[in-house]
Chains A and B, each alone.
Chain A
């Protein structure tokens, strides 16, 4: 089902639809998380992705109020090539991996509790404190970045120099 939804994300003409389909994918994935008893992640996934991020996407779409692909479908060769290579990648990956003898490895259901917020929290703030701090820097930079980008600076000026190439 996740796969189906994913394919729909890719092929659906109307961006809004694909957003919605993406949400479906996320929900499906969250389901898998539950199955793999990563409860915390499941919740976070739903809240952050399906909730916040997707809303952001929709918002941007509305802002640009383009609901259908406006441009005509040019160079479909690129499309076909894209699909083909994507398929090829899938093939080679599968080919590479199916030789992996992981049959024995079982991901069993409903056992263990590492997925609980409690344990995760302990690990996070004990072993993973450094990365945690670091990620704050990441956010900081993102924030600054958005600020820089966000400010208006008047009308676009033509690119400096002449247009090279060709």
Chain B
């Protein structure tokens, strides 16, 4: 099937993630939306890697593998981010018993 479909699918997911980040106020949900964005990217990368593989398989059998490896690294990083992120959120929650980002306005102007 044409790569375009994948592109649009991924972009759609990405934008949904963005919209989520914009609309939701629960820190964790926002964070989840970001994860959603990352996954959209992963999907896109895999699709592209497949595309390149299909285009160049004849000359170089391992073509397109970089894409999948990149996805792998993204997952790695994502995992790390999650741990840190959740830690920060928990710390926040400890001090102010809320995780509503709209309450984070001590710093402004």
Contacts and interface: CB of A to CB of B under 8 A. Distances in A.
A112 B57 contact: yes
Main DSSP-derived SS at the A contact region: helix
Chain A residues touching B, range: 35 or more
Contact of A114 (B13, B53, B73, B90): B53
Q: How large is the interface on B (under 10, 10 to 19, 20 to 34, 35 or more residues)?
A: 35 or more
Interface of A: 2-3, 6-7, 9-10, 15, 18-19, 22, 25-26, 29, 32-33, 36-38, 40-41, 44-45, 48-49, 52-53, 56-57, 60-61, 63-64, 66, 69-71, 74-75, 78-79, 81-83, 85-87, 89-90, 93-94, 97-98, 100, 102-103, 105-109, 111-112, 114-115, 119-120, 123-124, 128, 131, 135, 138-139, 141-143, 145-146, 149-150, 156, 159, 163-166
Interface of B: 1-4, 6-9, 11-26, 28-29, 32-33, 35-36, 39, 42-43, 46-47, 49-51, 53-55, 57, 61-66, 68-69, 71-73, 75-84, 86-91, 93, 95, 98-100, 102, 106-109
